[in-house]
Amino acid sequence: MKLGLPSKGRLQADAISWFSQFRIEISRTDGGREYAGSVIGLDGIELVLLSAGEIPRELAAGRIHLGVTGTDLVREKIADPSVITPVQEMGFGHADLIVAVPKLWIDVDTMDDLDDVAARFRADHGMRLRVATKYHNLVRRYFSEHGVADYVLVDSQGATEGTIKNETAEVVADITSSGETLRANHLKILSDAPILKSQATLFASATAAWSPETRQIADELAARMSVASFTPPAQQK
């Protein structure tokens, strides 16, 4: 059974210690430089180290059986929610996907304000209000639910909070945990509910090949975690 873990960083360290409570000890070989590792405590688990951003896709494609990643990435990247089952929220990696605007905009608190500003901005500047994000699908859906028009998404894969100062965007939609980066860049979060509250979660693939052997391992893991079996029902032949 293939278990996908983030290949480095805090998320990986937290995930490793989370698994240890279920008597599953994960160790990285070569002091963590080689992207490989071993699993002790439950036979038959093969570790696959991946970028957290790729884990949703690998789960959806069925190339890994289980994977640890953020809800934000799964919701953004996987259009069909039925192919990935959340097994357990892991209690770390908390972050909110939020909409932020310059603190200078003392006239803006909510999405209602933002919609009004978008209309005025288009009239004043001859272009639509630019929203920088890497969460295109989630943000588009959220803006659409709020009935906001006259905006355009611009792609930003990193340093998103800097796009306003760089004059490549007027608004950002990004993940934040403490809000410190936002504050440092003179931004404030709109008072509406966040687009998404995310945390690290163990997911199971519904499309992976679940053999009797992998099912057995998964069921043993489910028993140790005291959760219901998360493997998809066996296909009728």
Q: Which stretch binds another protein (CB under 8 A): 42-50, 64-72, 159-167, 196-204?
A: 159-167
For another protein, the closer of residues 40 and 127 by Cβ is: 127
- How far is 209 from 61, CA to CA, in rounded Å? 10
Residue 119 · residue 111 · CB < 8 Å: no
The one among 48, 153, 195, 202 contacting another protein by CB under 8 A: 153
Residue 182 · residue 176 · CB < 8 Å: yes
Q: Which stretch binds another protein (CB under 8 A): 36-44, 48-56, 57-65, 146-154?
A: 146-154
Map the footprint of another protein across residues 104-123, applying CB under 8 A: 104-107, 109, 112, 115-117, 119-121
In what side-by-side order are the strands of the sheet with 2-6?
46-50, 2-6, 66-70, 200-205, 84-89
Cβ-Cβ contacts under 8 Å for 71 (sequence gap 6 or more): 86, 196, 197, 198, 199, 201
Nearest CA to 62 among 209, 201, 236? 209
Residue 230 binds another protein, judged by CB under 8 A: no
- Please report, to the nearest 10 degrees, the dihedral formed by the alpha carbons of residues 159, 161, 166, 170 taken in order: 140
Residue 148 · residue 139 · CB < 8 Å: no
Say how many Å lie between the first and final Cα of the chain, rounded.
22
Residue 170 binds another protein, judged by CB under 8 A: yes
Binding mask 39-58 for another protein (x = CB under 8 A): --------------------
The one among 10, 23, 94, 186 contacting another protein by CB under 8 A: 186
The one among 21, 30, 155, 167 contacting another protein by CB under 8 A: 167
Residue 102 binds another protein, judged by CB under 8 A: yes
Position 122, amino acid: R
Residue 90 binds another protein, judged by CB under 8 A: no
Residue 178 binds another protein, judged by CB under 8 A: no
**Residues at the site binding another protein, with contacts judged by CB under 8 A:** 79-82, 102-107, 109, 112, 115-117, 119-121, 124-125, 128, 136-137, 140-141, 143-144, 146-153, 164-165, 167, 169-170, 185-187
